[in-house]
Amino acid sequence: MSLLFSTYALGSPKGPLTLANRIVVAPMCQYSAVNGEAQDWHLMHWGNLLNSGAALFIIEATGVTPEGRITPACLGLWDDRTEAALQDKLSRARKLAPATPVFIQLAHAGRKASSATPWDGGQLLSMAQGGWEAAAPSAIPQLDGERLPHELSTGELKELIAAFVMSAKRADRIGIDGIELHGAHGYLLHQFLSPIANQRTDEYGGSFENRIRFPLELFKAVRAAYQGVLGIRISASDWIEGGWTPEETADFATQLKPLGCDFVHISSGGISPLQKIAIGPRYQVPFAKIVKDQSGLPTMTVGLITEPQEAEDILQQGDADLIALARAFLYKPRWGWEAAAALEGVVPSNERYWRCLPRAAQAIFGNVKVGQR
């Protein structure tokens, strides 16, 4: 039997959550919210990917404060208004698809906040363009010559923890099944972890133990407030000399485990424009294996995994437990169906699609029947 189409259970204080297969739709920013509120684009996008055959769908990076958004068009979950909009669009999308667990990625962009959308260049917005003051572990900009971010005080760190906790409670009220904290791609939590961005001289900077202190405190607080599945996405390497390393990632994950971490999602990069990434198929899988082997945590891998057999081989080799895809699902929204056809798996489907299958893939929806006269 294909491992990609075997079930997998993620634990939590609330009890295990069993996934129908090992395919995950990774978070993908859509830059389509208005004042943080989900829009009709999200309804279409989520409904589409909830019909993809994946066993788990993770909603894009969602700001816990307005200032924590990457762009003015990023999704938010910081007040009753943004909560209501997200609940409305998600509940409607779920009614249009097979029952599928949904997680949300809670995030703060740190010094990468106040950016233009990618199709508008993606660079730091001036105040005149609707930008705002970004906040970070240290007053070091993402790019040389940019406006300096505000260095967060210890009091502001406590406020940020409270914001993450409140967003987690809102996610729980909405009926979201799990939370992924965003500790990757050069955003706030990653900025604390990396000596490239974190040059503080207090208890939150300097040594490895100090740099992981705030992310650990934040994780512990969210865990205390939220009983569903809780994990974190981590950039395992900064791809730059003197930066955060895979070995530190494994150590960090090991320290998260006794705090109630239910999974880790391993990516890389994003902290500096000087990064030199060795991009190629499965290029981040070795990082996932290091973290999985050393921490023993359920591990998602992601990054240029495009073919069903690639995903299957990663699982068969024990390099990861779950396979996450992002852009591959934008290009092929039914990637899960194609993988099931290639690996003789079965995926859940909306009955309205039962008549669509080509003869070679008749079995991927299981024993379903339709009639007509």
**DSSP characters over 188-232:** HHHHHH-TTT----STTSSSHHHHTHHHHHHHHHHHHH--SEEEE
Find the distance separating the first CA and the last CA of the chain, reported in whole Å: 37
Instruction: Output the 3-class SS for 17-46.
Output: EEECCCEEECCCCCCCCECCECCHHHHHHH
This prediction has a pTM of 0.97
Q: Which residue of the set 187, 204, 226, 331 is catalytic?
A: 187
CA angle 276, 281, 282 (to 5 degrees): 90
Is 90 exceeded by the pLDDT of residue 359?
A: no
pLDDT cut 70: percent of the chain above it: 100
Is 90 exceeded by the pLDDT of residue 120?
A: yes
- pLDDT one-digit tens code per residue, 171-204: 999 999 999 999 999 999 999 999 999 999 999 9
Give the residue, 358 or 300, on which the prediction is more confident: 300
The pLDDT value recorded for residue 344 is 95
Average pLDDT on 227-252 reads 97
Average pLDDT on 279-305 reads 96
Mean of per-residue pLDDT scores for the chain: 97
Query: According to DSSP H, which parts of 69-153 are helical?
Result: 80-95
Give the confidence band of 11 by pLDDT, cuts at 50, 70, 90: very high
187 is catalytic: yes
- pLDDT one-digit tens code per residue, 21-68: 999 999 999 999 999 999 999 999 999 999 999 999 999 999 999 999
Domains and CATH numbers, the chain: 8-353 (3.20.20.70)
- In three-state secondary structure terms, 57 is strand
CB 4 within 8 A of CB 323: yes
- List the one residue out of 104, 111, 103 whose CA is nearest residue 69: 111
